[in-house]
Structure 1
């Protein structure tokens, strides 16, 4: 596992997923943060195709944590990432699979284009 830290947000890169860890739940979106997410995606998956949401399987707004039997939530509000951790989690905020990561990055790039 490779871990990159941006301010108080830890981004953990594993073979098939990317997890976010922090005590905080809101983070400023910066070009540096976007680049780090892109690098994490390239380390995790060979090919990525950023695209708009096409169904429930790739909508990153909500994810289910099996271990905690609880949902986590992620959104972009103004210039911030807003994350609600699964109930019972101390530091784990969110976990991306490939499909959710692709739509999340699509939205981050849309946000970046409007700045």
Structure 2
């Protein structure tokens, strides 16, 4: 994936990775101009929940009803966009709280963020 991203020509790239151990991908993909959000740390399991009909991470990132990228209230700089940087605290807090309620400590998730983009990388536009 790294070489493809290197040659895509975009000035800013948002990468969301949902898989067990996904935090380990950051060291291989981190580069200037990229924001990488992963569902968990390198040594953690990433969970899917039937009641969410999604993974916990993507539910709190992009689900139409609960996802950060669909919450205008997270637009802190009021520019009409949700950036990866605006979305991450919401995703992190909700994933951690959810897994604390549902799983013993060794199975909890802690999303990770690498931010190599100068400023904020806008992901979702409203309006």
Q: Same fold (TM over 0.5)?
A: no
Shorter-chain TM-score bucket reads under 0.3
Higher strand proportion, which one? 1
Which structure would you say has the larger Rg? 2
Bigger helix share: 2
TM-score for the superposition, normalised by structure 1: 0.27
- TM-score, normalised relative to structure 2: 0.25
